[in-house]
Homo-oligomer: A and B are copies of this chain.
Amino acid sequence: MKLAIMGAGAVGSSVAELAAEYDHEVVALADSNSAAVDAAGLTVESALERKQADGIVGDDDPQDALDSEYDVLVEATPTTLDDAQPGFGHVRTALERDRHVVLANKGPVAERYADVRALESESGGSVLFEATVGGAMPVLSTIDGFGADNITAARGVLNGTANFILSRMAAEGLDYEHVLAEAQDLGVAEADPTFDVEGIDAALKCVILANVLAQGEREFTLDDADIEGISDLPGSALDLAHEDGQTIRLIGEVTDDGVRVGPRLVAEHSAVAPTGTRNIVQFETKHAGRLNVSGRGAGGPETATAVLADVDRLPPL
């Protein structure tokens, strides 16, 4: 398939780099203010080298990438809230042109799920978004395989940064500020860690899960989520938990009662208490008990793997 990739950060770049290995061709790659477009297929390496050296991926405009002759638009621009722009506009443009869309950007399916589905229903293209929930983990494809009707709830650890901080606090007896600084040094936490430590990133993923599980019967946005972060959690809470064989994790939950994210007591060494940056999703099923999927929830090549698996799932146009 011919891919146009919007967004040239860690995920967009990795999709571009791995596309050839999956027998796909990149015909356009855009960042926020430049693009490289070539109907015959880009030399991805040159575009990424140019971004490194000059801060632009090529001499074209992002609009040229949107106008190019692609089969699949890969939306990998940063997640934004509320109107989810410019990601949502990219999705609209592609679907109106009867092209497929694969999302790594959570915004459109967390904040405007019904709008995306409405556009899809009028389009010859389809929308897939496995990469938006837990990077490389097969979360949405597991729901698809089981059938949303057969899954009664989902919960788990959906933010690697918050999990890294909590597992370090528990293991080393350090306080939040200290471990956050360490995580920032290691590149595990961003300079502004708000999205991760305040539970917003995990909530967006849970909202997407809730939308998929609701099958259109109800629409969820971030406003429907009850969210509490970890930045006020004292180290002493982890010590107390440990005395009782427990620990604390930032747990996201999707149940009939809605979407909740917050620090919760969980048994030490239990499935929902992974260490480091690992993520886990636990499904409650109607007839098959509890099912866990765990792995790397973020990262360029990891998320790109999910994007490219989605591309391979798309029907022919």
B287 touches A18 (CB 8 A): yes
Shortest Cβ distance from residue A104 to the other chain B in the assembled complex, whole angstroms? 13
Interface residues of A (CB under 8 A from B): 14, 18, 22, 130, 135-138, 141-142, 145-147, 150, 269, 271, 285-296, 299, 301-302, 304-306, 309, 312-313
Q: Contact between A293 and B296 (Cβ–Cβ < 8 Å)?
A: no
Q: List 21 A-B contacts (CB under 8 A).
A: A22-B147, A130-B145, A136-B291, A138-B138, A138-B141, A138-B142, A141-B141, A141-B142, A142-B142, A145-B309, A146-B305, A150-B305, A285-B305, A286-B305, A287-B302, A287-B305, A288-B295, A288-B299, A289-B295, A290-B295, A291-B294
Asked if A289 contacts B136 (CB within 8 A), the reply is: yes
Is the Cβ of B292 less than 8 Å from the Cβ of A288?
A: no
- Copies per complex of this chain: 2
> Which 10 pairs across A and B sit closest by C-beta, in order of nearness?
A136-B288, A291-B295, A287-B301, A269-B269, A288-B305, A288-B302, A289-B296, A292-B294, A141-B145, A138-B142
Within the complex, what minimum Cβ distance (angstroms) separates A310 from chain B?
9
Cβ–Cβ < 8 Å partners of A306 in chain B: 288
Contact for A288 among B22, B285, B290, B301, CB less than 8 A: B301
Minimum CB–CB distance for A14 against chain B, Å:
8
The answer to whether A135 and B288 have CB atoms under 8 Å apart is yes
A306 to B135 Cα, complex, angstroms: 24
Shortest beta-carbon distance, A300 to chain B, in Å? 9
Q: Nearest chain B CB to A219's CB is how many angstroms away?
A: 25
What is the minimal beta-carbon distance from A147 to any residue of chain B, in angstroms?
6
Please name the residue on chain B nearest to A302 by beta carbon.
Answer: B288
- Closest Cβ neighbor of A295 among chain B residues: B291
Contacts of A287 in B (CB 8 A): 14, 18, 301-302, 304-305
- Complex interface: chain B residues within 8 A of A135 (CB): 288
Chain B residue at smallest Cβ distance from A313: B145
